[in-house]
Amino acid sequence: MQAPSLGGVQVPRGNGTTVVRLRHGASLNDFADKIDANPAALVTVLFHLGEMATATQSLDEDTFGTLATELGYQIEMVSAEEEDRELLGAFDIDLQAEEADESDEDLAVRPPVVTVMGHVDHGKTKLLDAIRKSDVVAGEHGGITQHIGAYQITHEHEGTDRAITFIDTPGHEAFTAMRARGAQVTDIAILVVAADDGVMPQTVEAVNHAQAAGVPIVVAVNKIDVEGANPAKVRQQLTEYNLVAEEYGGDTMFVDVAAKPGIGIDSLIDAVLLTADASLDLRANPTKDARGVAIEANLDKGRGPVATVLVQAGTLHVGDAIVAGTAYGRVRAMFDEHGNAVEAATPARPVQVLGLTSVPGAGDTFLVAPDDRTARQIAEKRQAAERAATLAKRRKRISLEDFDVELKKGKVESLNLILKGDVSGAVEALEDALLKIDVGEEVELRVIHRGVGAITQNDVNLATVDSAVIIGFNVKYGERVEELAEREGVDVKFYSVIYQAIEDVEAALKGMLKPEYEEVQLGTAEIRQVFRSSKFGNIAGSVVRSGSIRRNSKARVLRNGTVVGDNLTIESLRREKDDVTEVREGFECGIGLGSFNDVNEGDTIETFEMREKPRA
Ligand code: GDP
């Protein structure tokens, strides 16, 4: 149905209940696509509603809401996960329904997947080596064990042979990076703590990450062979982090080990299996098309893209058409961690896969598609969605400034903070002071992670997963972390005075921390000659005196130091006969200020923009 709308443009209208689903960060182009309208028409309608936006700019829910109401639609914002689900739905793939349809008979017990975490030098790598060597059927595999990102061992537990899969990249970095991409790979975390060193910053980080993901922890108290080892102290220290040993009445299993000489490894694996059996229901349907996660991938000179995938459900076969994130292809060959060819990989089995046409990201989910064409189409659709999402992400996920708005909209209930400081004393003081803030009834203040040192990729990843704001006290960004924060839209605030941080957080909670803007001059131009045009109004023939003049920037006109025209916009900008977007210092140009015509020879045009002022 076409009907005249605001501004006289034709836009297909909804009946008031027609629902339009848009992803976060969508633009008018996307909206236009869904209702089969001309994007330019939507720009016009929105303009008449008092909002200026370009067709490609990503808009917030409220703006879409206003526009939709006007046109008889209802807006529903969709998350990236939901969008991907819909994308797959278009190919008749519904992973949730697939799982929901599975009955008990379809499900078979699968091995647990374990990640080893802990402080640097506490023995993670050695422990992974020792566990690998403990494999009871290692001899039968033949070949030398290679690092492919994960391995599986068989362990005799209470009289039966049980398989366990270990993620071979120690540390919580990979773990969190995967979680940030929505992939939960790990069932159980082994926390390695050196008994001669005790709980250290990364031990705490690891605990935070595992607990935030709801993954049960088994503690390996390592290096008990070293003089001065104090396993009891480790147990006592960890009680502070809600890890209470069974022998102290808690429910966490602590096992004393020495990875280097290989002491206690069997007991540790037993503890992992006991914990899995006690607290997890690890079953999967092995008979369907495979679904899982890519845990490592690289471009091999001879073999092309090589990805190690962990099958989470179903069985992966050579010849299957697969999509992993935005990569796709056909499984040409599969290898296990011993370099042996594998024909079929069942749940919890990690395999190297050859045959993809590009390299997927670690943490990308993969699935088997009905045929090659479908696999390619899914990958292409995802590539398009990813481009759109990158644009949308530039906007902050959560920031101190808009916290109250999100709170009122019911989008958040707690202000999650990550604290980083130069010394632990400062971090503790900051945390203590923050937790003393009277936050009122309807909101909660949570410090989800604290640590000493620069702001790391990890901090940003964790902030992404848990929508947290990072507070840095006398610290800076680590290498390349700023770009990541920017890309992920994570708000990071730096302070060197504790009370200022407290003030800001308090203000954020009370909704008083509005951004302050300041004017930043972009350029000035001197008018040399005025050209009168009946069609375009007066054009100021000018020479740029400083900076540069950009089309669409804000402007004012000064005559002998007095403002004669304000709130103007550089509506047209020409060099010679060409429309240009920017003219630099020293060059001549023709400037049109829209309907503002009061320009004289000798006047100065000044352009500026409003920038958010950094807080002291
Ligand atoms: P990671 O940084 O946590 O991966 O730690 P590594 O596995 O690289 O171990 C750090 C150092 O501690 C290495 O020199 C290991 O040889 C040593 N180490 C690891 N486990 C033990 C152990 O059980 N006993 C002794 N004495 N040394 C160990």
pLDDT (0 to 100) of residue 141: 56
Which ligand 1 atom minimizes the distance to the CA of 127? 7
Q: How far is the CA of 451 from the centre of ligand 1 (A)?
A: 23
Choosing from 121, 221, 267 the residue with most ligand 1 atoms within 8 A of its CB, the one to mutate for a pocket test is: 121
pLDDT at 139 over 60: no
Could you tell me the pLDDT band of residue 392, with boundaries at 50, 70 and 90?
low
The residue whose CA is least distant from atom 19 of ligand 1 is 123
* Ligand 1 pocket test target in 115, 122, 126 with most atoms within 8 Å of CB: 126
Residue 245 to residues 111, 212, 278, 508: CA-CA distances in angstroms?
25, 20, 15, 39
Distance CA 316, CA 223 (A): 39
Nearest 5°: the CA angle 383, 389, 390 is 95
pLDDT at 236 over 70: yes
If you measure from the C-alpha of residue 70 to the centroid of ligand 1, how many angstroms do you get, rounded to a whole number? 66
What are the backbone dihedrals phi and psi of residue 198, each rounded to the nearest 5 degrees, phi first? 80, -170
Radius of gyration of the chain (CA): 30
Binned at pLDDT 50, 70 and 90, residue 394 comes out as very low
Q: Which atom of ligand 1 is nearest to the CA of 224?
A: 23
Using the predicted structure, report yes or no on whether residue 115 has a pLDDT greater than 90: yes
Distance 271 CA to ligand 1 centre (A): 21
Per-residue confidence at 483, pLDDT binned at 50, 70, 90? confident
pLDDT at 616 over 50: no
Give distance in angstroms: CA of 122 to centre of ligand 1.
6
| Overall average pLDDT of the 10-21 stretch | 86
- Percent of the chain predicted with pLDDT > 90: 46
For the chain, helix, strand, coil in percent to 5 are 30, 35, 35
**Residue located nearest, by CA, to atom 9 of ligand 1:** 123
**Region 544-570 average pLDDT:** 91
Assign domain 397-512 to its CATH superfamily. Translation initiation factor IF- 2, domain 3 (3.40.50.10050)
Q: CA 148, CA 166: separation in Å to the nearest integer?
A: 11
At 537 the pLDDT is 80
Q: Which residues line ligand 1 (CB under 6 A)?
A: 118, 120-126, 170, 222-223, 225-226, 258-260
The predicted structure's pLDDT at residue 514? 52
pLDDT at 409: 65
Q: Is the per-residue pLDDT at 517 higher than 80?
A: no
Percent pLDDT > 70 in the chain is 90
pLDDT confidence bin for 309, thresholds 50/70/90: very high
pLDDT at 395 over 60: no
170 pLDDT band, cuts 50/70/90, is low
Q: Predicted confidence band at 180 (pLDDT cuts at 50, 70, 90)?
A: low
Q: How do residues 405-441 score in pLDDT, each as one tens digit?
A: 777 666 667 788 999 988 877 888 888 888 888 766 6
Within this chain, domains 110-284 and 291-387 share the same CATH topology: no
User: CA-CA distance, 323 to 307, in Å (whole number)?
Assistant: 12
Closest atom, ligand 1, to C-alpha of 263: 23
Taking the centre of ligand 1 as the mean of its atom positions, its distance from the CA of residue 127, in whole angstroms, is 8
> What is the residue with the minimal CA distance to atom 11 of ligand 1?
121
Q: What is the pLDDT of residues 23-55, one digit of tens each?
A: 777 888 889 988 988 888 888 888 888 777 777
Evaluate if residue 348 carries a pLDDT over 70. Answer: yes
pLDDT of residue 544: 95
- Closest ligand 1 atom, CA of 128? 7
What pLDDT score does 243 carry? 96
Confidence of residue 9 (pLDDT cuts 50, 70, 90): low
What pLDDT digit, counting tens, does each position of 202-233 carry? 899 899 889 888 899 999 999 999 999 999 99
Domain boundaries, the chain: 2-78, 110-284, 291-387, 397-512, 516-613
Measure 206 CA to ligand 1 centroid, in angstroms: 18
What is the 58 CA–ligand 1 centroid distance (Å)? Answer: 50
171, pLDDT greater than 90: no
Q: What is the pLDDT of residue 13?
A: 87
**Closest ligand 1 atom, residue 223 Cα:** 23
- Average pLDDT along the chain: 86
Going by CA atoms, what residue is nearest to atom 16 of ligand 1? 260
State which of 168, 193, 260 you would mutate to test the pocket of ligand 1, scoring each by most atoms of that ligand within 8 A of its C-beta: 260
- Six-digit token pair at 398? 């959560």
Rounded to the nearest whole angstrom, what is the distance from the C-alpha of residue 259 to the centroid of ligand 1?
Answer: 7
Taking alpha carbons only, the member of 172, 255, 253, 171 closest to residue 217 is 253
Locate the DSSP E strands across 236-369. 254-256, 283-284, 291-300, 304-313, 316-317, 321-324, 327-335, 344-345, 350-356, 365-369
Provide the 10 A C-beta neighbour count for residue 152.
Answer: 19
Mean pLDDT of 157-164: 93
- Average pLDDT (120-143) is 81
pTM score of the predicted model: 0.62
pLDDT bracket for residue 614 (50, 70, 90): low
306 beta partners: 298, 354
Report helix, strand or coil for 453: coil
Q: Which of 68-72, 314-318, 385-389, 423-427 has the largest mean confidence?
A: 314-318
Ligand 1 geometric centre to CA of 126 (Å): 6
Say if domain 291-387 classifies as CATH 2.40.340.10. no
Of 555, 584, 583, nearest to 569 (Cα)?
A: 555
How confident is residue 512, by pLDDT bands cut at 50, 70 and 90? Answer: low
Most confident of the following: 140-144, 238-242, 402-406? 238-242
pLDDT of 379 higher than 90: yes
Question: Crossing angle, helix 172-180 and helix 457-465, to 10 degrees?
Answer: 40
What is the mean predicted confidence (pLDDT) over 91-108? 88
Give the whole-angstrom CA distance, residue 351 versus residue 330: 14
Classify domain 516-613 by CATH architecture.
Beta Barrel (2.40)
Q: What separation, in Å, do the N-terminal and C-terminal C-alpha atoms of the chain show?
A: 55
Of the candidate ranges 261-275, 278-292, 480-494, the one whose mean pLDDT is the lowest: 480-494
Q: Give the best-scoring range by mean pLDDT among 337-351, 442-456, 514-528, 560-574.
A: 337-351
Look at domain 110-284 and name its CATH class.
alpha beta
60-94 pLDDT, tens digit per residue, is 788 888 899 989 999 988 877 787 888 898 888 88
Which H or E run includes 406? helix 403-408
Determine the average pLDDT of the residues in 384-391: 68
User: How many angstroms does the Cα of residue 129 sit away from the middle of ligand 1?
Assistant: 11
